[in-house]
Structure 1
Amino acid sequence: MALVSADSRIAELLTELHQLIKQTQEERSRSEHNLVNIQKTHERMQTENKTAKIAGLYNDSEPPRKTMRRGVLMTLLQQSAMTLPLWIGKPGDKPPPLCGAIPASGDYVAKPGDKVAARVKAVDGDEQWILAEVVSYSHATNKYEVDDIDEEGKERHTLSRRRIIPLPQWKANPETDPEALFQKEQLVLALYPQTTCFYRALIHTPPQRPQDDYSVLFEDTSYADGYSPPLNVAQRYVVACKEPKKK
């Protein structure tokens, strides 16, 4: 009986492994397709850029070039989200820190080049969370140097650790590790679509499949209930909110 049970368990694990490999292949195929599309978009933008210059419509310092650059940035951010690897553990393994909603360990230091959510002071004095890239970290001062990811207003900021939230390094699989995802009505910071800023939001629906995004409700006072209609945000750009919920 024990031998039959072991054989059954092995068969189950092999079936699960086959499904995960199939999902991984689907993700890879989707990513390759998107990379081709990005390349085509980039080439088209370069062609349009050159054509406009030849026509004498604008020079390098004028707004249309910035618009082109921002379009490429938005596409790259979307591609970065789609190619975030899916964490696949052995049976019984728990998802590690920075997988889905699981935060970094207390002593974690983000590496140069890592993308993070960074709380900075805006021009008007208000504070906001932006998407930034780590330049360096000083153990002497416990402070990061980060660059704003947005080329249009690119600035370097020196920030304490409490003003930095590392982004996930793996997607959590809803089918095998649902506990590694934010749950419905949980308060988070999410990257607003087509921007480089994070805003407070409530989880409307967690991902149901590995390739799915979160559906979130952004705080928005222009709506009667104080929240926007549901918007999709990739796992890569949803992190725990460090601020208390507004009353």
Structure 2
Amino acid sequence: MPLTAESATQQIEERLKELRRLIHQIEDDRRRSENDINNIIRGQQANLAPPKLKALYKSGLQDAIQEEASTRTALEKIQEIRNIRNERRIQARDAGNKEAIRRGAHMKMVQISAQTLPLFVSKPGEKVPPLCGAIPADSSYIAKVGDNVAALVKSVDEEENWILAEVVQFLTRQNKYDVIDIDEEQKDRHVLSKRNIIPLPLMRANPETDGHALFSKGTMVLALYPRTTCFYNAIVHKLPETAKDDYEVLFEDSSYSDGYAEPLPVAQRYVITYRPTKKGSNGGSGSVSSA
């Protein structure tokens, strides 16, 4: 059933109310955890008996678990709000209500989308799921309507390029995607085989807990060239060190003696598994000098 503007507003308001409550709860949890840490430090300095010190550790652990649970619940509420807004945006697009956005503002939205991508922080022993960081989607995975993907399309001169696109629908019988170029100046529609689509990550990997879910230094990848909507061949030069950091990549560029340009930052969302085109081994148009 389509989500009306009224029901969307009501659902968002309900989640914002719950989010406000959770934020206050997280702050209370944080204060308790801070107090626990101070008590443990004082207990160690006073050489408390092991049973008493153990009790302090147990209390601190329980409060830390509660703080983590509250934080994860708050993040879930934020994601629910994003999903509701995205559903309304898709409905407006399908209804033909398209808002004109200047290219500069649109590029800013692409950047914000990467910065606000949910961060996956694994629990002890938890496996990093597909579409988190460098972990690819399962072979049977079907990207959802509204998801961003890298799409291999042909230009008028038959040259193949990887572009940033949005899923309009998946045509089950044809086993093909119907996608739209997110470039506001293009907005071209393409019907493409699954093999010409690469789903983008749905979560960022946390370098501090799940560094193995990032591409290794020296790995050949496809990366979105800054301030464009095209992916090009690149080599990972430096990995993110914190959740807020981007990769640094070296884009192929024939104007440089070694064939690669100076390092540029690219967000996790837009660094994906390398896949050669039919014409040679170039991603996008190959050299970024054409970007």
TM-score between the two structures when normalised by the length of structure 1: 0.74
Q: How far did 1:240 drift?
A: 0.2
String of CA shifts for 1:93-131, please: whole Å, max 9, x gaps: 011000000000110000110000000001221000000
Aligned counterpart in structure 1 of residue 141 of structure 2, from 105, 108, 113: 108
Which ranges of 4 or more aligned residues in structure 1 deviate by more than 3 Å? 3-22
Taking structure 1 as reference, are residues 245 and 121 closer, same or farther at Cα in structure 2, changes over 3 Å only? closer
Aligned counterpart in structure 1 of residue 126 of structure 2, from 71, 75, 93: 93
1:167 aligns with 2:200: yes
1:135 aligns with 2:168: yes
* Kept in 2: contact 1:113–1:133 (CA 8 A): yes
Taking structure 1 as reference, are residues 219 and 95 closer, same or farther at Cα in structure 2, changes over 3 Å only? same
- The letter of the residue matching 1:234 is A
Q: How far did 1:13 drift?
A: 9.0
Taking structure 1 as reference, are residues 7 and 158 closer, same or farther at Cα in structure 2, changes over 3 Å only? farther
What secondary structure, in the 3-state scheme, does the structure 1 residue paired with 2:185 have? helix
1:201 aligns with 2:243: no
Taking structure 1 as reference, are residues 102 and 20 closer, same or farther at Cα in structure 2, changes over 3 Å only? farther
Q: How far did 1:89 drift?
A: 2.4
* Kept in 2: contact 1:118–1:163 (CA 8 A): yes
The unaligned stretches of length 5 or more in structure 2 are 1-49, 75-99, 283-291
Taking structure 1 as reference, are residues 222 and 10 closer, same or farther at Cα in structure 2, changes over 3 Å only? farther
Aligned residues: 204
2:288 is matched with none
Q: How far did 1:149 drift?
A: 0.4
Taking structure 1 as reference, are residues 9 and 180 closer, same or farther at Cα in structure 2, changes over 3 Å only? farther
1:180 aligns with 2:180: no
1:126 aligns with 2:159: yes
What secondary structure, in the 3-state scheme, does the structure 1 residue paired with 2:132 have? coil
Q: 2: CA distance between counterparts of 1:118 and 1:171?
A: 21
Taking structure 1 as reference, are residues 183 and 153 closer, same or farther at Cα in structure 2, changes over 3 Å only? same
CA RMSD of aligned residues (A): 3.0
Q: How far did 1:87 drift?
A: 0.5
1:189 is matched with 222
Q: How far did 1:88 drift?
A: 1.9
What secondary structure, in the 3-state scheme, does the structure 2 residue paired with 1:199 have? strand
- The letter of the residue matching 2:273 is A
Q: 2: CA distance between counterparts of 1:16 and 1:229?
A: 44
* Kept in 1: contact 2:121–2:210 (CA 8 A): no
Q: How far did 1:172 drift?
A: 0.1
Larger radius of gyration: 2
* Kept in 2: contact 1:184–1:203 (CA 8 A): yes
Taking structure 1 as reference, are residues 158 and 204 closer, same or farther at Cα in structure 2, changes over 3 Å only? same
Taking structure 1 as reference, are residues 224 and 178 closer, same or farther at Cα in structure 2, changes over 3 Å only? same
Q: 1: CA distance between counterparts of 2:54 and 2:150?
A: 48
* Kept in 2: contact 1:189–1:238 (CA 8 A): yes
Q: 1: CA distance between counterparts of 2:66 and 2:250?
A: 35
Q: 1: CA distance between counterparts of 2:122 and 2:58?
A: 17
Taking structure 1 as reference, are residues 226 and 8 closer, same or farther at Cα in structure 2, changes over 3 Å only? farther
Q: 2: CA distance between counterparts of 1:98 and 1:9?
A: 35
String of CA shifts for 1:3-26, please: whole Å, max 9, x gaps: 98898698579769979999xx9x
String of CA shifts for 1:210-234, please: whole Å, max 9, x gaps: 1100000001101110001000000
1:18-167 → structure 2 map (5 Å cutoff): 69-167=102-200
